[in-house]
Amino acid sequence: MKILIAADLHWPVFNGVATFSRNLARGLAEQGHEVVVIAPSQDGRKSKEIDGNYVIYRTRSTIFPFYQNFRISPTPQLEVRKIIQDFQPDVIHIQMLMWIGQAAMFFGRRYDIPVVTTSHAMPENLMDNLKRAALLSRPINYMLADYGRRFHSRADVITSPTESGIKLFGKHVEKLSRPVEVISNGIDLREYTPGPADPAVYERFGLPTDRPIITYIGRMDAEKHLWVLIKATRRLLKDHQVHTLIVGDGVDREHMVRLADELGISEHITFTGRVSDEDKIALERVGVLYAISSPAELQSIATLEAMACGKPVVAVNAGALSELCHDGKNGFLFELDDDEGMAEGIAKIIGDKKLQKSFGEESLRIAKTHDLSYTLTAFIKLYKKVIKTKKAEVAARPAGFVDRIKESELAEYMEFWQGSGSDDKK
């Protein structure tokens, strides 16, 4: 098959959507499919690059200041249209409902190419970083959810990585006019495996070897609520010798570093910043457990990666995290923003070697059910089904058929063309 992936967030951006779209592209190409990804340029200029076994077309972009290492392509219509016309994909898989996703949706429907969308978006991922809009967050979140419902309803099939992701549509889910299938984002279990930590990684990052390490790996943005982990660390230090390792970067990093300093615990927390893929995998094996306080998780690939390395989990009971952290079986859940509850869960695990072992084994068992190979198989099956259905739908149309939905979308979408210089109205 010829598969086009439209990804407004893609490698080297460091987040779950970008990780999934890259894993999907590489995995599909490894199985012999021809894969093209459309993603924003990292330097502003359009370009073509090869990422191992698949092609990335980078569209012109500009910096988006509210999200770490993120660029946007606000007017990608001409570029997206040409890529689709040249590549002629059998199916289009859209990862986000932003500008590239919008363009891919429009041209997919216009050229009768089947479209699959995956719902990754949580409004909190944006709104928590737009602090000046805090008073408007509730109505804006509602509008974004409704917009998501309308966007995804234009696809042939909608997917979500978790059951919790479907619930995020709220009452809008009843208005979806397309089937929704749950397919895990998956992780590559060939890369993330249990094992001892490399002694060199301790020295490279200045980590202590005489006390348990609590690990968080992921973005450092406001919606991650990392202040909860930092305050939980302060509570733990009253009775335990521990060290917290925070791997990653984001717009909230400076604030978190300052908070640790204000609380007088800077020497007990290591902020690595962004690291290489190799160091990230090595650091997964360092900690005794993985701790996450983010309520805005549609699945959390980072948590799955830690579990695949055999780590117990202490997680907030919000979003989809309870689908990965089974309370009392492979870790402990705590309530939203409850740093005391988080500290209690961590203390139970670091103080009990048997619990560490049994929880770690259960984490590994759960992670194995999310192997990327299962995800790839599910999507390939879905693509074939939607291609067959689309062909039958097109063949059944009467002569001279005019899709009025397409015509209304054309009028709506013309707003995106203003100033684009396009003279193509076919």
Domain ranges in the chain?
2-186+371-417, 199-368
pLDDT-based confidence at residue 21 (cuts at 50, 70, 90)? very high
Taking residues 10-21, what's their average pLDDT? Answer: 89
What is the arrangement of strands in the sheet containing 2-6, beginning at the earlier edge strand? 47-51, 54-59, 34-40, 2-6, 91-94, 115-118, 157-160, 180-182
Angle 231-243-295 from CA coordinates, rounded to 5°: 45
Model pLDDT, residue 153 = 85
Structural contact between residues 2 and 34, judged by C-beta atoms closer than 8 angstroms? yes
Question: What is the fold, at CATH topology level, of the domain defined by 199-368?
Answer: Rossmann fold (3.40.50)
Strands 47-51 and 54-59: antiparallel
Residue 418 has pLDDT above 70, yes or no: no
More confident residue, 425 or 148: 148
Tell me: the pLDDT tens digits for 373-388? 999 999 999 999 999 9
SS3 category, 192:
coil
Structure tokens at 20: 């999934």
| 2-186+371-417 shares its CATH topology with 199-368 | yes
Tell me: the pLDDT tens digits for 261-293? 999 999 999 999 999 989 999 999 999 999 999
How far apart, in whole angstroms, are the C-alpha atoms of residue 252 and residue 73?
Answer: 24
Structural contact between residues 80 and 99, judged by C-beta atoms closer than 8 angstroms? no
Question: Which candidate, 128, 173, 156, 418, places its Cα nearest to that of 297?
Answer: 128
Question: Which candidate, 205, 196, 145, 193, places its Cα nearest to that of 172?
Answer: 145
- Residue partners of 344: CB distance under 8 A and separation at least 6: 332, 334
Residue 392 has pLDDT above 70, yes or no: yes
How far apart, in whole angstroms, are the C-alpha atoms of residue 57 and residue 61?
Answer: 12
Signed CA dihedral, 405, 407, 411, 414: sign only: positive
Is the domain spanning 2-186+371-417 CATH 1.20.58.220? The answer is: no
pLDDT-based confidence at residue 120 (cuts at 50, 70, 90)? confident
Model pLDDT, residue 254 = 95
How far apart, in whole angstroms, are the C-alpha atoms of residue 363 and residue 252?
Answer: 29
Structural contact between residues 281 and 192, judged by C-beta atoms closer than 8 angstroms? yes
Tell me: the pLDDT tens digits for 280-329? 999 999 999 999 999 988 899 999 999 999 999 999 999 899 999 999 99
**Which of 7-11, 16-20, 267-271 has the highest average model confidence (pLDDT)?**
267-271
Residue 176 has pLDDT above 70, yes or no: no
Structural contact between residues 140 and 121, judged by C-beta atoms closer than 8 angstroms? no
pLDDT-based confidence at residue 163 (cuts at 50, 70, 90)? confident
Nearest-10 crossing angle of helices 77-87, 99-110? 50
More confident residue, 420 or 269: 269
Model pLDDT, residue 193 = 95
Tell me: the pLDDT tens digits for 61-112? 988 765 556 688 888 999 999 999 999 999 999 998 889 999 999 999 999 9
